[in-house]
């Protein structure tokens, strides 16, 4: 099984960090199904992290079940490392990951994500600083680079290893390549050959078949799964069972129930932080239905999380009525109103919201 430094994972299946998606509600939903070897936060600004309040910050809210949990840092300057590492220690991180692959223009402009790969000296300084400040497993996530160039990629990966990275995840696409492009899993295989540390393949895994194909082409030590997590939260369990022979219970897939579990998890966040996260999740989850765009659109147009939930129930009553019977609708609404109730009542909107 996959080991990161001295930490052995139950399965070599990692949740990919995803902004707006990999928060506590999604992570606990994945735990309902099992098979995930390591969970992740979304990218956390190393500059802001030291002052975030972990009790209310939607990026940091976490239940004790969510472990092992990797904290991904978005670093733009070596100066940020010391306070950020102190913060992840306070937060009981199991692993620290460095984001070296994000292609978002906003992130690149600030000097973070994939823009760091243009500046190996700065990456070297950042990793050296982080390595000297923590004994936690230190990992990094990259894309294949600006263009396909074995020499550049090899030198960069070897530098990461020499500087003390314990595991490298490779999103098998170039910086500018959209998700629609087939991932270049065989390039992860090249990285695997160059390095001694474990290499994890990422990109385009939505089924057991794709997981097997990716492993065949890359020879990777593990797989990291992103968008399939909110779409098919049971996929980790399937891959763990069918590819790695791990004993994970087979769960019934009841989509309305899964949606309800996710909404229940959202109750951990402050009311104003819930709706955006529900919309983000629904965008992927709705792909499970032939007419899922109706669900996605209805939730997208909703102005409160309770309206969105009602819209979802309406959709399920038309598309998945039998399975909807297993959903404890009252429990979800009570959870949402538990923290919202007073506020909504005060605004005199209680009836309208329901
Ligand atoms: C909505 C969204 C947000 C993302 N946010 C991050 C992030 O915070 N950090 C990161 O390293 N990658 C981020 N990614 C990239 C994913 O981690 C992953 O590399 C990519 O989605 C490919 O994997 P997949 O095909 O399994 O989704 C994000 C991707 C998506 C779709």
Q: pLDDT-based confidence at 111, cuts 50/70/90?
A: confident
Q: How far is the CA of 18 from the centre of ligand 1 (A)?
A: 5
138, pLDDT greater than 80? yes
For residue 202, give the ligand 1 atom closest to its CA: 23
pLDDT 10s digits, 194-221: 999 999 999 999 999 999 999 999 999 9
**How many whole angstroms from 202 Cα to the centroid of ligand 1?**
9
- Residue 157 known to be catalytic: no
What separation in Å is there between the alpha carbon of 344 and the centre of ligand 1?
35
pLDDT value, residue 114: 82
> Please, are residues 191 and 168 in contact by the beta-carbon 8 Å criterion?
yes
Place of tokens 């609404």: 333
What pLDDT shows up at residue 227? 98
Mutate to test the pocket of ligand 1, among 13, 14, 18, 19 (most ligand atoms within 8 A of CB): 18
Instruction: State residue 103's pLDDT score.
Output: 86
- 272 or 347, greater pLDDT: 272
Q: pLDDT tens for residues 35-70?
A: 999 999 999 999 999 999 999 999 999 999 999 999
**Contact residues of ligand 1, CB 6 A cut-off:** 16-21, 42-43, 72, 99, 101-102, 141, 171, 202-205, 225-228
Phi, psi of 38 (to 5 degrees): -150, 135
Question: Could you give the CA distance from residue 93 to residue 61 in angstroms, rounded to a whole number?
Answer: 12
Q: Decide if pLDDT at 75 tops 80.
A: yes
CB 211 within 8 A of CB 12: no
Range 109-115 average pLDDT: 84
Q: Give me Rg for the CA atoms of the chain.
A: 21
Q: How far does the centroid of ligand 1 lie from the alpha carbon of residue 187, in Å?
A: 18
| Nearest atom (ligand 1) to Cα of 113 | 11
Residue 287: C-alpha distances to residues 237, 281, 284 (Å) = 19, 11, 6
Instruction: State which H helix or E strand residue 299 sits in.
Output: helix 292-301
Q: How many CB atoms lie within 10 A of CB 323?
A: 16
Q: State the chain's mean pLDDT as an integer.
A: 93
**Helix, strand, or coil (residue 139):** strand
Closest ligand 1 atom to 227 CA: 27
pLDDT of residue 351: 35
Comparing 36-45, 166-175, 343-352, the range with the smallest average pLDDT is 343-352
Domains of the chain: 3-242 (3.20.20.70), 255-353 (no CATH)
Q: Report which ligand 1 atom has the smallest distance to the Cα of 204.
A: 25
Q: Residue 62's pLDDT is what?
A: 96
pLDDT band at 262 (very low <50, low <70, confident <90, very high): very high
Task: Report the half-sphere exposure of 46 (CA within 13 A, side-chain side).
Answer: 26
Residue bearing the CA closest to ligand 1, atom 29: 18
């Amino acid at each position: 099984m996959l080991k990161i430094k001295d930490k052995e994972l139950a399965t070599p299946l990692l949740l990919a960090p995803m902004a707006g998606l990999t928060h506590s509600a999604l992570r606990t939903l994945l735990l309902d199904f099992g098979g995930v070897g390591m969970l992740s936060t979304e990218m956390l600004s190393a500059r802001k992290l030291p002052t975030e309040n972990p009790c209310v910050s939607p990026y940091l809210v976490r239940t004790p079940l969510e472990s092992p949990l990797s904290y991904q840092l978005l670093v733009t300057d070596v100066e940020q490392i010391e306070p950020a590492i102190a913060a992840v220690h306070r937060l009981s991180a199991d692993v620290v990951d460095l984001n070296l692959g994000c292609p978002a223009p906003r992130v690149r402009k600030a000097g973070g994500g994939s823009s760091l790969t243009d500046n190996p000296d700065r990456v070297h300084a950042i990793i050296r600083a982080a390595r000297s400040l923590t004994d936690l497993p230190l990992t990094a996530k990259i894309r294949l680079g600006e263009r396909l160039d074995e020499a550049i990629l090899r030198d960069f990966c070897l530098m990461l290893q020499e500087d003390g990275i314990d595991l490298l995840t490779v999103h098998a696409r170039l910086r500018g390549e959209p998700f629609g492009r087939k991932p270049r899993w065989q390039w992860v295989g090249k990285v695997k050959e160059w390095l001694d540390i474990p290499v994890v393949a990422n990109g385009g895994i939505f089924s057991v078949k794709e997981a097997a194909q990716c492993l065949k082409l890359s020879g990777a030590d593990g797989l990291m799964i992103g968008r399939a997590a909110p779409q098919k939260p049971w996929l980790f369990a399937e891959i763990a069972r069918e590819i790695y022979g791990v004993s994970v219970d087979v769960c019934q897939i009841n989509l309305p129930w899964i949606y309800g579990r996710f909404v229940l998890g959202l109750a951990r966040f402050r009311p104003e932080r819930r709706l955006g996260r529900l919309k983000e999740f629904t965008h992927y989850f709705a792909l499970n239905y032939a007419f899922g765009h109706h669900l996605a659109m209805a939730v997208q147009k909703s102005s409160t999380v309770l309206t969105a939930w009602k819209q979802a129930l309406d959709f399920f009553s038309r598309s998945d009525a039998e399975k909807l019977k297993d959903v404890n609708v009252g429990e979800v609404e009570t959870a949402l109103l538990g923290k919202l109730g007073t506020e909504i009542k005060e605004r005199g909107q209680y009836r309208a919201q329901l």
